[in-house]
Amino acid sequence: MKKPVIAVVGATGAVGEEILACLDERQVSFSKLKLLASARSAGRQISFQDQSLMVEELVPASFEGVDIALFSVGSGISKELGPVAVAAGAVVIDNSSAFRMDDDVPLVIPEINGADVQEAPRGIIANPNCTTIVTLMALDPLQRAFGGCERLIASSYQAVSGSGAQGIAELENQTAAYAKNEPLRANVYPHQIAFNVIPQVEPILENGYTKEEMKMQNETRKILHCPSILASATCVRVPVFRSHSVSVTAQFATEPSIEAARAALEAAPGIQLRDDRESAVYPTPLDASNGDDCLVGRLREDLALPNSLAFWVVGDQVRKGAALNAVQIAELLID
């Protein structure tokens, strides 16, 4: 489509704001930009490029004339209003987990399976989980180079911004209380997050894994078109404001070499290899924050599994893990 009408649904949230930043920076072509949010935020003015745009209340009628609707709201609202937007003629790009595992909804990381946007019979395209995006950005070039991925074992170090503005506020508040020698109160997370780590992101399921951890297996299989991949993740919240890090062991069909792995990562779009053993170069979450690329380091042969590599990947989960990836999907739809 040419110069579409784009609606940003949840425009005043952390991801919504980042979507606006990405639309601006990337000079995405559109004829009109519509900002939608809850009644609470309606009426707010947001400056975008040389205009001041008013946030409108999100209602079923909001989607008239909209060509692309970028949803960054809870699963519940996505499930309710996504199909309404489609009925009004829009393609929905949804950031929630509402539709991700539906067979007739493509789950897309543009650098990896961008062509899947062509197969969206319901008019809905899903944006993957943030930790999965960061992990697969590094894993995909490697699995292409080494005959496919067979096994994946990952431990994450996830920033509080993954829980939105309230997660950031919780770490800020606890840090401020610590500095003032006052008691640290936990409101958002089940345990103190400042000066602590919490090995739980999302509810724990019957099999002992959390929802977040199961996304790593389920979404990886779908995005890589490889239902046989075995993936085990441990997702941990850490007192970092922004950018998720993942420690990954991946086993491939053929024997990887470090040289070929480096070459594959260096050639991969959206990836920066920051890896030098001698000079102790590797990325930290601070390095990835507010950037578009995922950063990879600590690349080495895994000592425990045959045909495998161990590596460390860091990405800004608000950007590539959410907003940027959604905007890149929109770009695939615009001529």
Burial of 232 (0-12, 13-18, 19+ CB in 10 A): middle
- What mask, x for binding its own copies by CB under 8 A, covers residues 163 to 202? --------x---xx-xxx---------xxx--xxxxxx--
Query: Is residue 217 a contact point for its own copies (CB under 8 A)?
Result: yes
d(CA 107, CA 179): 43
Stretch that binds its own copies, among 17-25, 29-37, 71-79, 147-155 (CB under 8 A): 147-155
Q: Give the strand pairing for 230-234 and 271-273.
A: unpaired
Evaluate whether 126 touches 107 at the Cβ level (below 8 Å): yes
Query: Is residue 297 a contact point for its own copies (CB under 8 A)?
Result: yes
Burial of 136 (0-12, 13-18, 19+ CB in 10 A): buried
State yes or no: is 225 an active-site residue: no
Binder among 74, 284, 331, 333 for its own copies (CB under 8 A): 284
Query: Is residue 269 a contact point for its own copies (CB under 8 A)?
Result: no
- What mask, x for binding its own copies by CB under 8 A, covers residues 225 to 244? -----xxx-x-x-xxxx---
Q: Give the strand pairing for 244-252 and 308-315.
A: antiparallel
Which residue, 29 or 200, is less far from its own copies as judged by CB?
200
What H or E segment, with its residue span, contains residue 110? Answer: helix 110-113
Query: Is residue 302 a contact point for its own copies (CB under 8 A)?
Result: yes
Evaluate whether 191 touches 199 at the Cβ level (below 8 Å): no
Binder among 153, 271, 294, 295 for its own copies (CB under 8 A): 153
Stretch that binds its own copies, among 22-30, 42-50, 145-153, 321-329 (CB under 8 A): 145-153
State yes or no: is 244 an active-site residue: yes
Least separation, in Å, of the C-beta of 14 and its own copies? Answer: 17
Query: Is residue 288 a contact point for its own copies (CB under 8 A)?
Result: no
Kindly give the residue spans of alpha helices, DSSP state H, lying in 146-251.
Answer: 165-179, 211-223
Residue 172 phi/psi, 5-degree rounding, is -60, -50
Evaluate whether 202 touches 211 at the Cβ level (below 8 Å): yes
Q: How many other CB atoms sit within 10 Å of the CB of residue 273? A: 21
Annotated catalytic residue within 149, 235, 244, 294: 244
Active-site positions read: 130, 244
Contact residues: its own copies, CB under 8 A: 151-153, 155, 157, 171, 175-176, 178-180, 190-192, 195-200, 203-209, 217, 230-232, 234, 236, 238-241, 245, 247, 249, 258, 277-278, 280, 282, 284-286, 297-305, 310, 312
